[in-house]
Amino acid sequence: MDLSHTEEEQDFRARLRAWLAKVLPELPAKPSPDDWPGRRAYDLGWQRRLYDAGYAGLHWPLDAGGRGATPTQHLIFLEETERAGAPYVGANFVGLLHAGPTIAAEGTAGQRARWLPPVLRGEEVWCQGFSEPGAGSDLAALRTRAVRDGDAYVVTGSKIWTSHAEVADWCELLVRTDPAAPKHKGISWLAMPMDAPGVTVRPLRTLAGSAEFAEVFLDEVRVPVANRVGAENDGWRVTMVTLSFERGTAFVGEVVACRRTLGALARAARANGRWDDPVLRRRLGRLYGEFGALWRLTQWNVSEAQGSGGVPGIGGSVFKLAYSHARQELYDAAAEVLGAGALSLEEEWTAERLSSLSYTIAAGTSQIQRNIVAERILGLPKGR
Amino acid sequence: MDFRLTEDQRDLRAGVRELLAGRYGREALRESVASGAAVDRRLWRELGEAGFFSLRLPESEGGVGLGLPEAVLVFEEAGRALLPGPLVATHLAAGVVPGAATGSAVVTAFDLGGPLVAHLGEADAVLGAEGMPPGEPVRSVDPLTPLWRSSGVLPPEHREAGALLTAALQLGSALRTVELAVRYAGEREQFGQPIGGFQAVKHLCARMLVRAEVARTAVYAAAVTGDAAEIAAAKLLADEAAVRGARDCLQVHGGMGFTWEADVHLHLKRAWVRAEQWHTAREAEELLAARLGTEAEAEAGADAEPDAESEVAVMG
Ligand SMILES: Cc1cc2nc3c(=O)[nH]c(=O)nc-3n(C[C@H](O)[C@H](O)[C@H](O)COP(=O)(O)OP(=O)(O)OC[C@H]3O[C@@H](n4cnc5c(N)ncnc54)[C@H](O)[C@@H]3O)c2cc1C
């Protein structure tokens, strides 16, 4: 059990910190949450700076255009960027955290060369077209159909809750290529250009008021067969690779952000006298302990991943369960610090409180995560 | 950074598990419950010979010369086996109270905050106290933790190590109750199938594991850093994992869980006792709040140039 960092890791941290101190003040002002083209430009601009400085695709393998950094270095990167208040991956989330790693792991040489560099350089944005109106938790029940016609698939159906669909160039799309096969068998993974004829995007407002995600309607969209990653009808396995990335690393930087928020909450509570309430104070103390432990759990998972070649394990489900609930508790505590002030949408913590409600749902609900933990870690009998 | 256990650490843990399985398996546990004899002097000496109490004593003083991380792994196993007796206090007394290191002395401590003390009648000494204080026996909730009404002071220098090792005992118990629940859920059939196939049962088990895993990393990390706030958090989370884990395990066992025959109640009762030892939840939360407050203030002061190093000490 060694929590100290090697000299190399410390060097890496120091250089990164110095670089962040230099570039962050040069960044343009943040666009408003509703200005999607503005957000896209801002996020891609940040990605470009990372690329130019050699920090893009840090944890991606070298042959995928990445830097081949160790999971520990990646962790340091997430920790330092978050601590410095650097922009979040934002619009580039799907490309960097799951479509990219999936193509790197499962794509052909040509597919890697076509799709990976633009993600790293901040030129193309991806979205994730998995969920459908009738297929959420039961993802394998998806019905969007792809029928082969020469060298193209003709795709018809609809997707929902597709984050960033409005501004995406590509969609990692799950389609049914064999309706006769058993549910998990007849699925394929396609890269679909979002500007293809027949694609319609209808933004959906979230309870937080902004349009984070959208419905995507697909009407006889032609997608080249060459855009299929993995074998035909083998998309479910490919998807499981994607999802392990999603659960494994997606929330790491946010633990650091939550710790920052706790500090700000403590300051606010002291300023408005609420710190004297022992119930609230102890609640904040407990959260401080919990987020500290969650950070340690992250380090534990990263050490395990380092030992197993970098693919995050199902320990990610344990983390996601604990984290998503702790995050909601954090913003409930924030509301208690603010008192009635928490009812104002102008309050940053109120917006965060609203958006924290998605964490126990997105990327697999807590109920589904508990099934995964019970069946795959604890070995309890599988449900239907 | 590599947070995983070293090979030596894994071997140590496996060795202790084996020793305890042979020397204090289920039958021995039930025998001591039946007889009410919490401390078995022969076993105590055997533990002493195996280095249980002298683990952190320097080799020059006849100890094993290992650190808190190793001690935590050993105590985790003791918690798993529900080994009774003032293990933590005797371990802390090694090198201080004659005979503690070798297990020829049984040492307890005023770790229950004063009004009560455990194992007074079976102990040769109380950590930090001169002579044996008088006490009135009290009927204890845990059949293997006899209690006396008595008062005395807990030496502050042992408080953190005591809390951490007690957290490790809680962790072992929490992990054990997950195993007990999962095993029962896989065997017991109702409605023509193992109850573990029912989602309500599955989710109880998954929650138990999540609490135990979060506690585990907290305990291990606190053992590595020795940081007071991390130790308080480890105790807080391990108490919760042990108490709520035992409760959920009891629920999974249904009516069987409410019987004296099932071991679950023993885990729950011991977990209740330990939750009152060294650091209560209230104390841990206050300590954590105080740390949060100081850190937040320091950050506000430093503002533009946050003192990175001091934060790294906590964040790793
Ligand atoms: C902010 C946000 C962003 C998202 N972004 C994307 C995206 O970019 N791309 C994408 O493809 N999807 C996205 N999603 C969709 C997300 O993956 C799904 O919402 C999620 O998987 C749950 O599916 P559902 O909404 O259909 O809920 P349902 O599956 O209908 O579930 C409803 C309730 O039933 C419970 N339930 C369902 N099945 C079971 C079961 N077997 N056992 C126990 N309980 C069960 C659920 O836990 C939940 O409480 C996003 C969602 C959110 C909230």
Confidence check: pLDDT of B153 > 50: yes
The model's pLDDT over A339-381, given as tens digits with 9 standing for 90+, comes to: 999 999 989 899 999 999 999 999 889 999 999 999 999 999 9
The pair phi, psi for residue A7, each rounded to 5°, is: -60, -40
Q: What pTM, to 2 d.p., does this model score?
A: 0.92
What's the confidence (pLDDT) of residue A243?
A: 66
What's the confidence (pLDDT) of residue B313?
A: 35
Tokens 């917006």 locate to A351
Query: pLDDT grade, residue A200 (50/70/90)?
Result: very high
**Rounded mean pLDDT of B106-119?**
93
| Ligand 1 pocket residue status of A245, Cβ below 6 Å | no
What's the confidence (pLDDT) of residue B315?
A: 35
Ordered DSSP codes for A210-231: S--EEEEEEEEEEEEGGGEESS
Q: How far is the CA of A205 from the centre of ligand 1 (A)?
A: 16
The answer to whether the beta carbons of residues B172 and B238 sit under 8 Å apart is no
Confidence check: pLDDT of B230 > 90: yes
Query: pLDDT grade, residue A185 (50/70/90)?
Result: very high
Confidence check: pLDDT of A24 > 70: yes
Confidence check: pLDDT of A48 > 80: yes
The model's pLDDT over B256-266, given as tens digits with 9 standing for 90+, comes to: 999 999 999 99
| Ligand 1 pocket residue status of A362, Cβ below 6 Å | yes
Q: Do A289 and B290 touch (CB under 8 A)?
A: no
What's the confidence (pLDDT) of residue A249?
A: 61
Query: pLDDT grade, residue A70 (50/70/90)?
Result: confident
Q: Do A285 and B289 touch (CB under 8 A)?
A: yes
| Ligand 1 pocket residue status of A130, Cβ below 6 Å | yes
Mean pLDDT of all residues belonging to chain A: 92
∠ at Cα A310 (A95, B172), nearest 5°? 120
Least confident range from A236-245, A261-270, B150-159, B259-268: namely A236-245
∠ at Cα A31 (A29, A33), nearest 5°? 145
What's the confidence (pLDDT) of residue B311?
A: 37
Ordered DSSP codes for A118-165: HHHTT---EEEE--BTTBSSSGGG---EEEEETTEEEEEEEEEEEETG
The model's pLDDT over A231-255, given as tens digits with 9 standing for 90+, comes to: 999 999 988 876 665 555 667 778 8
Query: pLDDT grade, residue B281 (50/70/90)?
Result: very high
Sign of CA dihedral A307, A308, A311, A315: negative
What's the confidence (pLDDT) of residue A328?
A: 97
ipTM surpassing 0.85, yes or no? yes
A237 vs A286, which has greater pLDDT? A286
Which residues does chain B have within 8 Å of residue A282's beta carbon, measured at their own beta carbons? Answer: 282, 285-286, 289
Q: How far is the CA of A382 from the centre of ligand 1 (A)?
A: 20
Kindly report the length of chain A. Answer: 384
Tokens found for residue B128? 């930090």
The model's pLDDT over A149-164, given as tens digits with 9 standing for 90+, comes to: 999 999 999 999 999 9
Quick count: other Cβ atoms within 10 Å of Cβ B49? Answer: 12
Query: pLDDT grade, residue B309 (50/70/90)?
Result: very low
Mutate to test the pocket of ligand 1, among A137, A163, A382 (most ligand atoms within 8 A of CB): A137
Confidence check: pLDDT of A76 > 50: yes
What's the confidence (pLDDT) of residue A315?
A: 79
What's the confidence (pLDDT) of residue B256?
A: 95
Least confident range from A20-29, A306-315, B160-169, B221-230: namely A306-315
**Rounded mean pLDDT of B46-70?**
96
Query: pLDDT grade, residue B314 (50/70/90)?
Result: very low
Q: Do B314 and A292 touch (CB under 8 A)?
A: yes
Identified catalytic residue from A232, A246, A254, A336? A246
Confidence check: pLDDT of B307 > 50: no
Query: pLDDT grade, residue A210 (50/70/90)?
Result: confident
